[in-house]
Structure 1
Amino acid sequence: MADRSPGASAFGLLGIDLGAGSLKSTLIGLDGAVLAESSAPIRTMSPRPGWSEQAPGEWMEALARTTREIVGQAGNAEIGGVAITAGAHTQVLEDAGGNVIRPAILWNDQRAGAETEELRRQAGADILRIAGNSVNPTWTLPQMLWLKRNEPDAFTRFSRLYLAKDWLRKNLTGTWETDPIDAVGTLMASADGKSWSAELCDMIGWPLHTLPPIRPTLSVCGCVTVQAASLTGLKPGTPVVCGASDTAAETYGAGMLEEGLGVVKLATAATVSLLSRRPRPEATVINYPHIVPEAYYTIAGTNSCASAHDWLRRILTDQRSGGEGSGFGDLDREAASVPAGAEGLFFHPYLNGERSPHWDPLLRADFVGLGFNHSRGALVRALYEGVAYSLRDCLNAFCALGLNMKAARLIGGGAKSRLWSQIVADVLNIRIELPANGDASFGAALIAGIGVGVFPDPYSAAQVIGVRDTIMPEPSRAAYYAEGFRTYCDIQKALAPINHRLAELRGLAPG
């Protein structure tokens, strides 16, 4: 039997995270040290404006590739447990023969705007009461109503619904289940995620028997099958834990275990999360059960963050996308030479509509105040400030609920930019801490350790979470940004109705 005492080097825990642009696998030791890691890109398709889809088969190819590389890097280390995480809301539909019917609709897809408005009008208050969250285009419930109306053949053919991480786990274990956190993310379950809601499912005519059994997040659901072992390189019989959504894993893995300490994520999208001892059912924020016992995490987010930076970098440099967190070299140096305020230039990061706190798929991005005097660096700095302002917009929604953030752990690819990290600290006017390991695959590995009994509980596992750096807000810039935020909000309010008119014009445009 392997030595499982703290510090043992021959025993590892594997966390796998399916992100928006890549799948990453990380093997950690019992002291939290990374023993091996590997990632593979994931292709996102946008057949129409505002649509985001991925092919589940490519997820599994990426998982198999990265786990084989992990096994090769790990040498003789025993992998004692596996857990998988992925973005919430993203669903996979299979027919009775186990075949995937269509590409998975992602969490940032905006196609279900009309269905969302209809559900809001007819049952908005009931949905919020039952599910603990407000209906919006990014949730599974309105997306599946869209599917029923626009792809009736797919709707009549499907036999089982999987969430993204559960479909990947099914390919390892052959089992079918989900956890309470991802169940809440469908908007088809009770607010605590412990049971499916017939009332919610009946609103769109969704058959309850196609939804997976709900198991505890930290429970072992099965073991790696012989067939999966031959594909992935993992040993047959390796236990696989149920797992959770990526945000639950990464906020836990970053150390969000107490009230007042939040997590800010600068990734494809940007989010602000805070731990709460009860759900906060309000239309402006999202509520999920947390990894921490008897706790929830409240989250608000902006749709475009590192994706917006990548878009601007490609335009300014004529370079292809380098993935989340890439391209913080020359452009960062140019942006750092521009003073706070980007010489009067404002940016709103609504490239694909917006989530918190506006929940409006018709909003669009802008540069306001642009003049001949503005350089590439000014455009980049305005983008960094605009995303930070959007996060402050989200944070204000927390304050309205009596939730206060005293400090935050900063994670995501955007945290690789020291300038952007400092701007976030200044705009939010809080202490920023950079965790030693701040991604969902690390959190998933900790979840695997708790599930297989290596760690007795989430608090014990969290002892291996470290902080590598701290960034303090600079008082004069924080005061300046407090004033700038008011202008940012005024611009948003003024342009919102114009964005709606532009959406009408797009719909009327000749083909």
Structure 2
Amino acid sequence: MSDALTTDAVHLGLDLGTQSARAVAVDGTGRLLAAASRPLTGRRDGVRHEQDPAQWWSALAAACREALTGIAPERIRGLAVDATSGTVLLADPQGHPLTPGLMYDDGRARAYTARANRAGGEVWRELGYRAMQPTWALPKLLWLLDNTDFPDARLLHQADLITWRLAGHQVAADTGHALKTGYDLVHERWPDAELARMGVPAGLLPDVVRPGTVLGTVCADAADATSVPAGTPIVAGMTDGCAAQIGAGALTPGAWNSVLGTTLVLKGASPHLVRDPGGVVYCHRGPGGTWLPGGASSSGAGAVARRFPGADLDALTARAEATGSTAVAYPLTGGGGERFPFRAPDATPFVLGDPRGDAEEFHALLLGTACVERLCFDYLDHLGAPVDGPLTLTGGGARNRYWSRLRADVLGRPVTLPEHAESATGMAVLAATASGVTLEEAAAAMVRTRERLDPDPSRTARLTPVYLDFVDELTRRGWLEPAVATHARGKAEQ
């Protein structure tokens, strides 16, 4: 019998973020044994955002060496890697980078989006997201092909470079990272005819497998660089958002993880593909036969940071809670434009009510975020996504207990706060499947709950009309479709 879910086993989660590379060692019961990180630096020039791919490997190798200090090599059972979604580069046939890494938010390829959508629109519609976005990987690939001259190049996603280094040879990409490059998740193949019409050469793209597939084992050179024992299984990982979802344990149909950081990101689990006529929700392929629908808002805690830079948020929270204010501020993090739960490039912040003083303004932003979150769930329900399972709250915003309780009250549903919810932890959970356990079994054993918060029915009843006024204002401004507003009102009346 496998010992994967005991204290004897150690699973490694490797995370490539925007600002750091992180490695964690977690035992089979979910106890965090060690964690280490190294900074990553990038270059921004207007819409361009690049990083040096060589730094990804050196930083991650150093983080691994530190995290594994003092851990017996024979305890290590497997590893998995996550990275930022849509980050790509070209490499030579030996895996050496030929270009910088074009980061997830690099916008240089906007002019190539139309070509990708003309040639592949039918495929994108079947996959449910309808159209490629300018920062997705496929438009960037088209830009690279037009602006470089490397006849034998290979397209690599950020995680692919790391798994190549770990294995000592090229291994398959995972479906999560391949999604934004145009991989057909329904038929599980590259849409070769459509890609050929775009001018993408045959043989440029990697093979692709589902997350959780064992790709190979750590080679001797990588073992020397990382201290990960040679022969350790390498498990196909996922994008950072899906990795965090695993770390939160949101894997059963109807379960959701709501990540409140600079922006609000929702990731859930569904037994079926969720198609969105509005193109704001798209699905990843989960391990096994599940689908992982989700969306990323342009609203979130970034609006708080922008309005109250350097403030003592604990003190401000205490004062805000005491006000009992029901004023609502639409918490867009940038100057304007929303992408989920509706697409409205012209959306701008607004305030309903008359908040007086910093405490009430602060509370209005907290309440506004909770209203956006509830509308996200109403929109997902409108699309037919299952939304009634357990809900976990993660991200920096979840550290504010009052804000989490307010979100539970607005949503009218209980929420749980995991003990260690981060992308690297999710990859450690996924790595445990290399020992033969299912992902659900691994998550049940390794994802620990810190706290559960139940809604106060009287507060939910008091705040629901506030939420509906917010929905009505979005509709009045022409940003939210009336059919979605009607659905939200119907849900509130149930």
Task: Map 1:484-503 to 2 at 5 A.
Answer: 484-492=466-474
User: Where do 1:276-287 residues align within 5 Å?
Assistant: 276-282=270-276, 283-287=279-283
Give 1:298's match in structure 2, choosing from 289, 293, 296.
293
Provide the rounded CA distance (Å) in 1 between the counterparts of 2:209 and 2:120. Answer: 28
1:473-508 deviations in Å (ceiling 9; x for gaps): 2334333443333443455466679xxxxxxxxxxx
Q: Identify if the C-alpha distance between structure 1 residues 59 and 491 changes in structure 2 by more than 3 Å, giving closer, same or farther.
A: farther
1:444 aligns with 2:427: yes
Deviation, 1:309, is: 4.3
Distance 1:77 1:340 in 2: 57
RMSD: 3.2
The 5-angstrom pairing of residues 163-312 of structure 1 reads 163-182=157-176, 184-192=178-186, 194-282=188-276, 283-291=279-287, 293-303=288-298, 305-312=300-307
Task: Say if 2:86 and 2:180, in contact at 8 Å, map to a contact too.
Answer: yes
In the TM superposition, residue 193 of structure 1 has moved relative to its aligned partner by: 6.6
Q: CA deviation at 1:356?
A: 2.2
From 340, 351, 365, the equivalent of 1:356 is 340
Distance 1:420 1:13, change over 3 A: same
Gaps spanning 5+ residues in structure 1: where? 318-326, 498-511
Confirm or deny: 8 A CA contact 1:328 1:416 kept in the other structure.
Answer: no
**What is the alpha-carbon distance in structure 1 between the residues aligned to residue 463 and residue 301 of structure 2?**
21
* Aligned pair partner of 1:332 in 312, 317, 341: 317
Deviations 1:226-259 (A, max 9, x none): 3322322222332221222223333233222322
Alignment partner of 1:30 is 2:11: no
Q: For 1:347, what is the secondary structure of its paired residue? A: coil
Output the CA distance in 2 between the equivalents of 1:449 and 1:331.
Answer: 42
**Partners of 1:181 and 1:245 within 8 A in 2:** no
Give the letter aligned to residue 248 of structure 1. C
CA distance in 1, matches of 2:120, 2:214: 36
1:134 maps to 2:130? yes
Measure the CA separation in 2 of the matches of 1:244 and 1:398: 22
Post-superposition Cα deviations, 1:275-306, rounded to whole Å, max 9, x if no partner, equal: 21111222231111112x21111112214534
Kept after mapping to 2: 8 A contact 1:65/1:232: yes
The corresponding residue for 2:482 is: none
Number of aligned residue pairs? 474
Q: What's the counterpart of residue 489 of structure 2?
A: none
**Partner amino acid for 1:339?**
G
Matched, 1:65 2:62: yes
String of CA shifts for 1:170-214, please: whole Å, max 9, x gaps.
222223234453255224111237211113323532223111111
Give per-residue Cα distances to partners, 1:115-134, cap 9 Å, x unaligned. Answer: 445655x4675133444422
**Is 1:415 matched with 2:398?**
yes
Q: Which residue of 2 aligns with 1:324?
A: none
Which amino acid in structure 2 is aligned with residue 329 of structure 1? D
User: Does the Cα contact within 8 Å between 1:347 and 1:385 map onto a contact in 2?
Assistant: no
**Matched residues in 2 for 1:338 and 1:426: separation?**
16
In the superposition, the TM-score normalised over structure 1's length comes to 0.82
Q: 1:267·1:306 contact (CA, 8 Å) conserved in 2?
A: yes
Q: Which whole-Å deviations, capped at 9, do the CAs of 1:39-97 have from their partners, x for residues lacking one?
A: 33334543215x54433333223312221111115366632211111232221222456
Task: Give the secondary-structure state (helix, strand or coil) at the position aligned to 1:168.
Answer: helix
Q: Which residue of 2 aligns with 1:478?
A: 460
Question: Separation in 1 of the partners of 2:13 and 2:6?
Answer: 18
- 2:362 corresponds to: 380
- Residue type of the partner of 2:376? C
Structure 1 distance, partners of 2:209, 2:330, is 46
Shift of 1:398: 1.0
Q: Please, which moves more after superposition, 327-336 or 206-215?
A: 327-336
Q: Contact 1:44/1:52 (CA < 8 Å) preserved in 2? A: yes
Cα gap change, 1:146 to 1:308, in 2 (>3 Å): farther
- The alpha-carbon distance between structure 1 residues 210 and 269, as it changes in their structure 2 partners (threshold 3 A), is farther
Deviation at residue 381 of structure 1 after TM alignment: 2.9
Change (3 A) 1:366 1:408: same
CA shift for structure 1 position 391: 2.5
Contact 2:270/2:386 (8 A) holds in 1: no
Q: Bigger CA drift: 217-226 or 476-485? A: 476-485
Change (3 A) 1:106 1:310: farther
AA partner of residue 22 (structure 2): K
Q: State the 1:330 CA deviation.
A: 3.5
Structure 2: how far apart are the matches of 1:445 and 1:267?
A: 22
Percent identity reads 26
Provide closer, same or farther for how the CA distance between residues 175 and 311 of structure 1 changes in structure 2, counting only shifts above 3 A: farther
Secondary structure of the 1:445 match is helix
Equivalent residues of 1:67, 1:234 under 8 A apart: yes
Change (3 A) 1:280 1:240: same
Q: Which residue of 1 aligns with 2:437?
A: 456
Q: Deviations over 1:120-154 (max 9, x none)?
A: 5x467513344442222342223334555xxx333
Q: Give deviations 1:98-117, integer Å, cap 9, x for gaps.
A: 44344333334455455445
**1:237 aligned counterpart, secondary structure:** coil
> Which secondary structure state, in structure 1, belongs to the residue aligned with residue 203 of structure 2?
helix
Cα separation, partners in 2 of 1:230 and 1:443, compared to 1, 3 Å: same
Q: Is the 8 A contact 1:286 1:300 kept in 2?
A: yes
Measured at CA, do residues 228 and 4 of structure 1 come closer, stay the same or move farther in structure 2, by a change above 3 Å?
same
Alignment of 1:154-165 (within 5 A): 154=148, 159-165=153-159
SS in 2 for 1:190: coil
Q: 8 Å contact 2:106–2:135 — kept in the other structure? A: yes
CA distance in 2, matches of 1:430, 1:41: 38
Secondary structure, in 3 states, of the residue corresponding to 1:186?
helix
Q: CA deviation at 1:19?
A: 2.6
8 Å contact 2:178–2:208 — kept in the other structure? Answer: no
Unpaired runs of 5+ residues, structure 2, are 480-494
Question: Which amino acid in structure 2 is aligned with residue 236 of structure 1?
Answer: A
**Hey, what does 1:321 align to over in structure 2?**
none
Do the aligned partners of residues 388 and 396 (structure 1) sit closer, same or farther apart at CA in structure 2, a change above 3 Å counting?
same
Residues 82 and 240 in structure 2, CA contact (< 8 A), matched pair in contact too? yes
Judged with a 3 Å threshold, the aligned counterparts in structure 2 of structure 1 residues 134 and 371 are, in CA distance, closer, same or farther, namely same
Q: Which amino acid aligns with 2:407?
A: V
C-alpha displacement of 1:159: 0.7
Structure 2 Cα separation of the partners of residues 363 and 55 of structure 1? 35
